[in-house]
Amino acid sequence: MKLSQQSLLDLADQVLATAKKQGATSASVGVNYGNGLSVDVRKGAVETLEYNRDQGLGLTVYFGQKKGHASTADLTEQAIKDTVDAACRIARYTAEDEFSGLADAELMATEFADLDLYHPWDINAEQAIELAIECEAAGLAYSNKIDNSEGSGVTTYKGVSVAANSHGFVGVSRGSQHGLSASFIAKENDAMQRDHWYSSHRVADKLEAAATIGEKAAKRAVERLNPRKIETTKSPILLSPNIAKTLISSYISAVSGSALYHKATFLLDSLGTPVFPEFMRIHETPFLLQGSGSASFDGEGVTLKNKDLVTEGIVQTYLLGSYSARKLGLKSTANAGGTFNLNVESTGENFTELLAKMGTGLFVTELIGSSVSIMTGDYSRGASGFWVENGEIQFPVEEVTIAGNLKRLFKGIVAIGNDIDTRGNTRMGSMLIDEMTIAGK
């Protein structure tokens, strides 16, 4: 079938009607299609060139409180019929679950603002290759210490999806996402280090310039040369924005539905309690124009709203879909499928001021491996970065482990910088923590 937004709408309606005819008391369906281009070059030559075109349909049906799910990437008439049959068959034989079912009808989204998310990039393979080569060439020319390239890449994607359910909810999402990246190896004597940089945005014209990305990636690799090991100690830690986001991600996991109803989180019963310092505010802005995490509804069709997750350091809400909400005796918070544009408010300091405030400590730019327990809050990860004294970066550091407990670390946040990284779903600056254990030599 020829795919278009209207054909997806018609298909969703048809699938729901067919499921109802087979005895389903309620159902939800998602249908999507999209296409993109991906190019990778290395040393000026094309390594990969891929065109991708994807499509799919996922159906969840309920026979009372028995649930069945099936999906397919084949949108032919027979494949769709088989998918509906499979979902209904599964539902008939599964056990009843008193908490299953669609989200409540009164929560369904009925208004859909234009969030300006769809900006296809008019670029062909030849142009993408030229752009990737330009990016790589800028990095290779940055310094004679750049010994090798791990490649530069250009990606572009556009797609449309339709979500619908038997409450009468129908939502259409159209979006694009583009990216440009580079990675290099720097060498001095026998020492070698690698690093990378990337830019992503829904609008291609808002990507960082190709030469800028190449130079940033090369600069980061050169700066890491000749790292030293440090003695085991306790000191302040400054996390770069991309690393600070991982700490916020751990918080999100700890206040999300599954961890809560399984009682597998160190933040059980934390609603209304102070978890962060008083200056901390974390809020969700799903209607941000061109935002990476922008949407009008969550994964169940529940309408989204701007909301505070943390205000003055106090937990304002858990993050729940309808199933976890029912298990906990609460209401859905419209977070089926995750969060939508998280913002961690800055305390106003720039990066230089954060270094000065830290004085002496470790500036972390990369994490390696993971040992994070959401159950206990125990945190331990390999790290590399730069040692700082008197507010000035002194030398690169590698082969250390930073450790602590998340409950203590959250309380120990001193400042959030204004060097905000807007890439991805979480928007925040560097994070200064008063103390962590650093395991070194």
359-392 pLDDT, tens digit each: 999 999 999 987 899 999 999 999 999 999 999 9
In this prediction, residue 1 carries a pLDDT of 58
In angstroms, the CA 99 to CA 110 distance is 24
Q: List the chain domain ranges.
A: 5-35+47-106, 125-223, 227-441
CA angle 329, 333, 334 (to 5 degrees): 130
The fraction of the chain above a pLDDT of 70, given in percent, is 100
Residue 402 pLDDT grade (very low, low, confident, very high; cuts 50, 70, 90):
very high
Q: What is the CATH number of domain 125-223?
A: 3.30.2290.10
- How long, in residues, is the chain? 441
Confidence at residue 371, expressed as pLDDT on a 0 to 100 scale: 84
Average pLDDT over residues 157-164: 97
Strands of 208-334 (E only): list them. 233-239, 282-284, 307-311, 314-315
Per-residue CA distances from 243 to 129, 365, 366, 411 (Å) = 31, 7, 7, 17
Q: What are the tens digits of pLDDT across the range 200-235? A: 999 999 999 999 999 999 999 999 999 999 999 999
- Whether pTM > 0.85 for this model: the answer is yes
Residue listed under structure tokens 């408010």: 345
* pLDDT the model gives residue 249: 96
Domain 5-35+47-106 is classified in which CATH homologous superfamily?
PmbA/TldD superfamily (3.30.2290.10)
Q: What is the pLDDT of residues 125-152, one digit of tens each?
A: 999 999 999 999 999 999 999 989 999 9
In the numeric block, which tokens belong to residue 236?
């302040």
User: How far is residue 225 from each of residues 5, 41, 187, 193, 238, measured CA to CA in Å?
Assistant: 51, 25, 7, 6, 20
- Average pLDDT over the chain reads 96
Q: For residue 2, what pLDDT is reported?
A: 67
> Alpha carbon 162 to chain centroid distance?
21
At 310 the pLDDT is: 98
- Distance CA(184)–CA(271), nearest Å, equals 45
125-223 has the same fold as 5-35+47-106: yes
